[in-house]
Amino acid sequence: MNTSTCYILGIESSCDDTAAAVINNGVVLSNVVATQEIHTEYGGVVPELASRAHQQNIVPVVHQALRKANIDKKQLHAIAFTSGPGLMGSLLVGTSFSKSLSLGLGIPLIDVNHMQAHILAHFIKAEGQTPPKFPFLALTISGGHTQIVKVTNYFDMEVIGQTIDDAVGEAFDKSAKILGLPYPGGPLIDKYAQQGNPKAYPFPKPKVSPLDFSFSGLKTSVLYFIERETAKNPDFISEHIEDICASIQYTIVSYLMDKLKNAVKKTGIKEIAIGGGVSANSGIRKALQDAEGKYGWKTHIPKFEYCTDNAAMIAIVGELKYKQGIFAETNVVASARLKL
């Protein structure tokens, strides 16, 4: 194994988090995330405001990442940045900044697919974590994506199932909005769910092909259910918030687990890894832990800080590409709909 120093700076700006991290041979030296609070009052990410906030944050965030890693920018070996998928205006800030920095420092530039990074975050060296063995199945669950990916090697990935409408993070956030909770509501549903009865209110699971997902119907059934109940009792939400959240979370988690079971059956692969912001959810983390004993799976759950959007995951992909000599040209462009 190559143990000589290899400092890679990762930069992430695909949505509403401006993030920078420094990695050295799989070990994260710093991982800085500036979350943009501005979107909370609008109940969702406002693209125009996101790109402006990235412009403001990117220089201080990168400085802080270098300072925390205790290195100077001249010691960097390469710059890795998110080239997509994501919001175009947000991606452009990180892309242009990274190009300029790599040109200024005279070091290679590496483009990184955000969804690939959520999967390869498992190769960050962290205490108590063992990386998944190839081939494995990755369930990528975020505010923008819901996919089951067959991962044969670092850069050999095949999407075998995906959502036909909303992403699972949207299902959490839109349900939370119906309950009057602020954006992003996913973590709040999770918090209340931990005190509630998951079987209190049954919600239907949408029927689509075995490996695909659909979440738009769930949002509608939550809406109709809340309208019906609040018509009878205006305080229904505040009186039953824990049970409502537990029931929504239970429906979503068991739906995700059903799809994983189908994927294991189809591929014969029992090595499972999750990635993306929703993998911070306590319900899915517990269900996956239980699956080890129940179904004989080997499950991999990333450390909390590598689940939601972060730059350490961009830096690890940068490092893997750097060691294989895979670099970007200076005319590389951001792509809002970049595929895996």
**Can you give the binding site for Zn ion, defined by CB under 5 A?**
142, 309
CA separation for the pair 288, 141 (Å, rounded) = 14
Q: What stretch of H or E contains 141?
A: strand 136-141
CB 211, min distance to ligand KG4, A: 21
Q: Which is nearer to ligand KG4, 31 or 308 (CB)?
A: 308
**Do 33 and 19 meet the contact criterion of CB atoms below 8 Å apart?**
yes
298-300 and 109-113 strand pairing: unpaired
Residue 124 has which token pair? Answer: 């960050």
Give percent helix, percent strand, percent coil of the chain, each to the nearest 5. 45, 20, 35
Binder of residue 111, out of Zn ion, ligand KG4, none (CB less than 5 to 8 A by kind): none
Binder of residue 187, out of ligand KG4, Zn ion, none (CB less than 5 to 8 A by kind): ligand KG4
7-12 and 17-24 strand pairing: antiparallel
331 Cβ neighbours under 8 A, 6+ residues apart:
none
Q: Which residues bind ligand KG4 (CB under 6 A)?
A: 15, 142-144, 169, 172-173, 184, 186-187, 190, 276-278, 280-281, 308-309
Binder of residue 278, out of Zn ion, ligand KG4, none (CB less than 5 to 8 A by kind): ligand KG4
Cα distances from 222 to residues 162, 174, 257, in angstroms, run 22, 9, 20
Q: Which is nearer to ligand KG4, 183 or 322 (CB)?
A: 183
Q: Which is nearer to Zn ion, 142 or 175 (CB)?
A: 142
Nearest to 121 by CA among 272, 307, 270, 284: 307
CB 104, min distance to ligand KG4, A: 29
CB 108, min distance to ligand KG4, A: 26
Binder of residue 318, out of Zn ion, ligand KG4, none (CB less than 5 to 8 A by kind): none
Residue nearest to ligand KG4 (CB): 277
CB 154, min distance to Zn ion, A: 18
Binder of residue 190, out of Zn ion, ligand KG4, none (CB less than 5 to 8 A by kind): ligand KG4
CB 236, min distance to ligand KG4, A: 22
CB 173, min distance to ligand KG4, A: 5
DSSP-derived letter for residue 213 is: B
